[in-house]
Amino acid sequence: MRKSTLFAAAAALAVGAVTATGAHAQDGDAANGEKLSKRCIACHTFEKGGARKVGPNLWNIMDRGVAASEDFNYSDGLTAAAEKVESWDDEAMMAYLEDTTAWLREVTGDSGVRSKMTFKLPKEEDRRDVIAYMKTLSEGS
Ligand code: HEC
């Protein structure tokens, strides 16, 4: 009971944060997002079947579940977040890329968790563009 109340509060917070920044990832520029993704490739591959590096492969990331890459050892925080958030929708991804640890803490309600991803995309427009690019990385597009 207590756990679900905490989660409801965290979810409300997350929704509030997204509304305040006016996040609409569907407006993103995928071509610019592909350029921005060069900042990610030190740690991630984007192609289908790509290897894990410091971070998991990101093919089909916008459709698959949170922390769902089978060959990657995720942090406790992201593993716990996966029980609360089913998939990477625009809102979740916008908040995650802005500050991964803050998002994990909000979603899990656990201020002790820390993301393994020590990289942020502070500019809202950049995040929108990268998300638009990641949406192109699936079988359906
Ligand atoms: C310095 C290395 C590093 C960089 C740079 C980096 N990441 Fe990550 N990323 C990680 C690690 C490590 C994880 C696993 C996080 C965890 O387990 O807490 C991760 C996790 C993720 C996840 C969650 C994956 C899943 O399976 O749920 C997404 C999405 C993501 N990164 C996107 C990006 C994007 C987009 C960029 C570039 C804008 C980026 N990352 C840049 C290291 C990095």
Domain ranges of the chain: 2-135
Contact 133, 30 (CB under 8 A): yes
Q: Which fold has domain 2-135?
A: Cytochrome Bc1 Complex; Chain D, domain 2 (1.10.760)
pLDDT at residue 51, as a whole number:
96
Per-block average pLDDT, block size 10, for the chain (141 residues)? 54 48 65 98 97 97 94 97 95 98 98 97 98 94 66
Determine the pLDDT at residue 20: 42
Q: For residue 86, what pLDDT is reported?
A: 86
The whole-number pLDDT of residue 63 equals 86
pLDDT attached to residue 27: 79
The ligand 1 atom at the shortest distance from the C-alpha of residue 121 is 38
Residue with tokens 């950049």: 126
The distance of Cα 101 from the centroid of its chain, to the nearest Å, equals 11
Please indicate whether residue 117, judged by its CB atom, sits closer than 6 Å to ligand 1.
Answer: yes
pLDDT at 6: 54
C-beta 30 within 6 A of ligand 1: no
What's the 2 CA to ligand 1 centre distance in angstroms? 30
Q: Report the pLDDT value the prediction gives residue 2, as an integer from 0 to 100.
A: 55
* Distance, CA of 58 to CA of 55 (rounded, Å): 9
**Among residues 80, 91, 88, which one has the least CA distance to residue 113?**
80
Residues whose CB is less than 8 angstroms from the CB of residue 120 and which lie 6 or more positions away in sequence, other chains included = 97, 98, 99, 100
Element counts in the chain: helices (H) and strands (E) = 6, 0
